[in-house]
Amino acid sequence: GAGVSQTPSNKVTEKGKYVELRCDPISGHTALYWYRQSLGQGPEFLIYFQGTGAADDSGLPNDRFFAVRPEGSVSTLKIQRTERGDSAVYLCASSLTRGRSPLHFGNGTRLTVT
Amino acid sequence: GQQVMQIPQYQHVQEGEDFTTYCNSSTTLSNIQWYKQRPGGHPVFLIQLVKSGEVKKQKRLTFQFGEAKKNSSLHITATQTTDVGTYFCAAQSNFGNEKLTFGTGTRLTIIP
């Protein structure tokens, strides 16, 4: 079946612009995670959704970052006033249930802020 | 916050040699998962360990969870070129918090 889909695969934007990154999880997966990965580093947790609600957003670096999942399926990560330090691969993952379930990752969105 | 460290950061081995990566947490864990990320790819789930002292095997891969549930290891016997990639442990501190914290990773390269 279809895996986790992330769009766009690449995004180049200018410093100060607004970007939206989209994640379409595996059908039926209730949990959805956003991670950020810089070159040579492990995935850094940003936010976790259980259904429509953000169960844990402790990883969002500041108030420029916001994520939504209005219908409990597709999620959008929104970044305002982008900075060069936001450049990274943004990974989305979904899992079947909450807790102790394997994460299924998408291919990521590579964000470059110039 | 919770920190998950892995050693070594890099490992270069001759094909056929064994490889081990170690994962250490600053806190007691509910469970630990292992992922493999090929160059240019995304992390792919390998296995989950839940019980203290648990050992699981997948062909040439052996995974172990420490007795105190604060550390874990992955051992690969007789490495092959297909084993190339970065291996991450990912830790969940307690069942009430589903946040999965990834380790720093060990990058494995194979010399044919």
In the predicted structure, residue B99 carries a pLDDT above the cut 70? yes
- At A98 the pLDDT is 67
Q: B99 vs A99: CB contact, 8 Å cut-off?
A: no
Q: A56 vs B98: CB contact, 8 Å cut-off?
A: yes
Q: Residue B15: what are its φ and ψ, rounded to 5°?
A: -55, 135
- Band of residue B93 on the pLDDT scale cut at 50, 70, 90: confident
Arithmetic mean of pLDDT over chain B:
94
Alpha-carbon span B12 to B108, nearest angstrom = 6
- Mean pLDDT for B9-38 is 96
Lowest-confidence region among B15-24, B48-57, B96-105: B96-105
- pLDDT, tens only, A59-83: 999 999 999 999 989 999 999 999 9
Chain B, residues 81-100, CB within 8 A of chain A, namely 88, 90, 92, 95, 97-100
Helix (H) or strand (E) holding A15: none
Amino acid type, A1: G
In the predicted structure, residue A1 carries a pLDDT above the cut 60? no
- At A55 the pLDDT is 86
Residues of B in contact with A42 (CB under 8 A): 88, 102-105
CB atoms within 10 A of CB B36: 18
Q: A42 vs B95: CB contact, 8 Å cut-off?
A: no
In the predicted structure, residue A2 carries a pLDDT above the cut 90? no
In the predicted structure, residue A99 carries a pLDDT above the cut 80? no
